[in-house]
Amino acid sequence: MTGQNDIIRLDHGSGGRISGELISKLLLPAFDNPILSKLDDGAALEVDGVRLAFSTDSFVVDPIFFPGGDIGDLAVNGTVNDLAMCGALPLYLSVGLIMEEGFNMSDLSRILSSMKRAAKAAGVLIVTGDTKVVPRGAADKIFINTSGIGRIPDHVHVSADGARPGDVVILSGSMADHGMTILNEREKLSFSHGITSDTAPLHRLTQKLLAAGKDNHKGNRKDIHVLRDPTRGGVGTALCEISERSNVGIDIFEENLPIKPAVAGLCELLGIDPLYVANEGKLLAFAARPAAEKILADLRSDPLGVEAQIIGEVRSDHPGKVHLRTRIGGTRIVSMPAGDQLPRIC
Amino acid sequence: MSKELSDSYRDPTLAGQLVRWIAKISRKKIRLMEVCGTHTVSIFRSGIRSLLPDTISLVSGPGCPVCVTDPGDIDAFLALARMEGVTVATFGDLMRVPGSQGSLLELKSEGRDIRVVYSPLDALAVARENPDRKVVFLGVGFETTAPTVAAAVSQALQEGLANFFIYSAHKLVPPALAAISKNPDLRIDGFLLPGHVSVIIGSGAYRPFVETSRCPAVVAGFEPVDLLQAIGMLVSQIEAGEARLENAYKRAVSEKGNQAAQMLLENTFQVTDAPWRGLGVIPKSGLALKPEYAGFDAGKVLPLCVPASESPAGCRCGEVLIGKITPPDCPLFGTACTPVKPVGPCMVSSEGTCAAFHRYGGAS
């Protein structure tokens, strides 16, 4: 990060290789500690014997209203999901609002009521907050930060470095819905049918998965090794990260990847690989193979997981690399994208 | 194309039969060039390389429009973006391409007004909404893209928009094929002809090239079954010692092509000599705005001053573009030149050969 590149570019916020470099070269050294360096969706903390998850996320999506949601429920669900991916039951959220001078009061009311609805649905309380207003042009309409804490049950241990050879990879539903919805709206591409953001709280799914087996000897809560919501950067980026962090190979199967026809069509039209497009209501679970059918059944019994699929498996060969078996039987690599062509997606 | 229809062109059984057919008939060691960048990406994405016998090498050609754009034109784009009062509208692929000094993306970070658009008609809308700015659309692309640019120019004329301009670096495919087939170093045994370009110009447009070069050529579609079929047809011609023009993409490409689009091109542009990265100046291979549209020609209207440009030191994009080397043969590939910090355009564009090798390559 020297010479002609020594300014922040949009790519630094992409979630891909370039943001990874910013984090590892500037942020990690600045705040160096073993909790941060795990780089999970949230921090897992232990306070007087109580295990807590703590996470924060900022939302700058453009447009602020879109089919399926708005910046308000996105901000609540985003942090709820980060906590859920730590295996936690989300409890309390904070909200920071940064608004541009001239922003419509009625739009703000609309956003706040959708935050209220989303918090209620997720069973969390918004317990503290902050508002700031900046002069016209110093921000675009409204940016929202949410932070949250949740309780991690004693028996739960999930982390991006927990994938093991033999695990199956499960995706809870269709890919790329959120990112393509935003692109469709923002660029006024006017594909109106079947393209809606999937923003949703995932803690109910994760609680169901992590509790599975409690009263049932067939399953075991320890069977789930990794949980991840593939947001910015999509399923492909999340898998690359997990394969690197766990030092395992991952094979995924093109024909098993769930995607809605309208979303697939729009991706093809624009030459965008849906593997790298953001989701806001989907999770990836890595689990021991014997538990796979039970997990799949649990997911599919919930409206948010009806389209869940086993999309791949973890292998000991090609550690750190993700391979995709194509529909026609070929093989190719799924690599971490450098930056992102779609900024301000969440 | 409906999903059901596209699915049939990705059918594993059909693809398997074609793979076995190709393996059965292929004897000679041959080099086939896929001319189009979208073919390159499709071949990688479907893993076709991993399915072909060792006798067949696929080499990528000059079909990524951003990649073949001459360094001088890239520097002209940057100079335009630096001009006071100018808004540059461009396809996203150009944003990261490094010029002699910086890239459009870097200029945007510095506060220059650069907009990514999906169509030249979007650039027209930018001009309409910003009457106090001079809006320049960077015209990069082949016969596929140029008609929409022509349509935008004609629309701007109708509306009397005086602040809309085009910098035309458009290129024509058949002259580049002729240049490549004449190069004895390249030893191309057959060409997979670009599907989208052929929709516009028609398969017949390649007839003179095939007759002169005596090189087998097949127009190919973009789905795995399309590509495998076209590869099989090329192998079959080569094994039989034939050199014909065939069309494996008849559901989209006719002999005469899209005549309305051709008419639009003819009315707006004139054929001109054009510089290509990797191929040098090829006679009659580019499109410039006709004199009657000079008022829309950014190169003529705006005081554009571009110093002499050179390719970045050590960059071998030029040789990659003509299939002389594959990306891993370039010493910068994957070390000094990566998608994070690209040195040459082939590592930047989503259709660039180096980017495709870097993103999808490595799996056997």
State the average pLDDT for chain B: 92
Q: Is it the case that residue A271 has pLDDT exceeding 60?
A: yes
ipTM for the complex? 0.71
Of A256 and A213, the structure prediction assigns the larger pLDDT to A256
Of B309 and B171, the structure prediction assigns the larger pLDDT to B171
Q: What pLDDT sits at residue A318?
A: 93
B-interface mutation test, from A328, A331, A341, A344, most B Cβ less than 10 A away: A328
The residue of chain B with its CA nearest to that of A321 is: B363
Q: Give tens-digit pLDDT for B150-187.
A: 999 999 999 999 999 999 999 999 999 999 999 888 89
The residue of chain A with its CA nearest to that of B347 is: A338
Q: Which residues of B touch A4 (CB under 8 A)?
A: 102, 106
Q: Give tens-digit pLDDT for B195-208.
A: 999 999 999 999 99
| pTM (two decimals) | 0.81
Of B183 and A138, the structure prediction assigns the larger pLDDT to A138
Strand B164-168, strand B134-139: pairing: parallel
Of the candidate ranges A72-76, A158-162, B168-172, B272-276, the one whose mean pLDDT is the lowest: A158-162
Q: What is the average pLDDT across A163-177? A: 97
Q: Give tens-digit pLDDT for A47-60.
A: 999 999 999 999 99
Q: What pLDDT sits at residue B6?
A: 65
Q: What pLDDT sits at residue A336?
A: 85
Q: Is it the case that residue A62 has pLDDT exceeding 60?
A: yes
Q: Which residues of A touch B109 (CB under 8 A)?
A: 7-10
Residues 6 or more apart whose Cβ sits within 8 Å of residue A31: none
Of A12 and A5, the structure prediction assigns the larger pLDDT to A12
| Chain B nearest C-alpha distance from A237 (Å) | 12
Q: What pLDDT sits at residue A40?
A: 81
DSSP 3-state percent helix, strand, coil across chain A (nearest 5): 35, 25, 40
Residue with tokens 């109708």: B158
Phi, psi of B109 (to 5 degrees): -60, -30
Q: What pLDDT sits at residue A268?
A: 84
- Cβ contact, residue pair B359, A335, below 8 Å: yes
Find the radius of gyration of the CA atoms of chain A: 20
Q: Give tens-digit pLDDT for B3-14.
A: 565 678 888 999
Of the candidate ranges A2-16, A143-157, B53-67, B209-223, the one whose mean pLDDT is the lowest: A2-16
* Closest by Cβ to B363, choosing from A18, A327, A332: A332
The residue of chain B with its CA nearest to that of A17 is: B340
How large a percentage of chain A has pLDDT more than 90? 75
Q: Which residues of B touch A274 (CB under 8 A)?
A: none
- Cβ contact, residue pair A326, B46, below 8 Å: yes
Q: What pLDDT sits at residue B312?
A: 80
Q: Which residues of A touch B19 (CB under 8 A)?
A: 328-329
Q: What pLDDT sits at residue B61?
A: 92
Q: Is it the case that residue B15 has pLDDT exceeding 90?
A: yes
Q: Is it the case that residue B25 has pLDDT exceeding 50?
A: yes
Q: Give tens-digit pLDDT for B85-138.
A: 999 999 988 998 999 989 999 999 899 999 999 899 999 999 999 999 999 999
Q: Is it the case that residue A124 has pLDDT exceeding 60?
A: yes
Grade residue A219 by pLDDT with cuts at 50, 70 and 90.
very low
| Chain B nearest C-alpha distance from A137 (Å) | 14
Q: What is the average pLDDT across A239-267? A: 94
Q: Is it the case that residue B37 has pLDDT exceeding 60?
A: yes
Q: Give tens-digit pLDDT for A276-330.
A: 999 999 999 999 999 999 999 999 999 999 999 999 999 999 999 999 999 999 9
Q: Which residues of A touch B47 (CB under 8 A)?
A: 324-326, 328-332
How many angstroms separate the CA atoms of A295 and A209, rounded? 6
Q: Which residues of B touch A15 (CB under 8 A)?
A: none
- Cβ contact, residue pair B47, A328, below 8 Å: yes
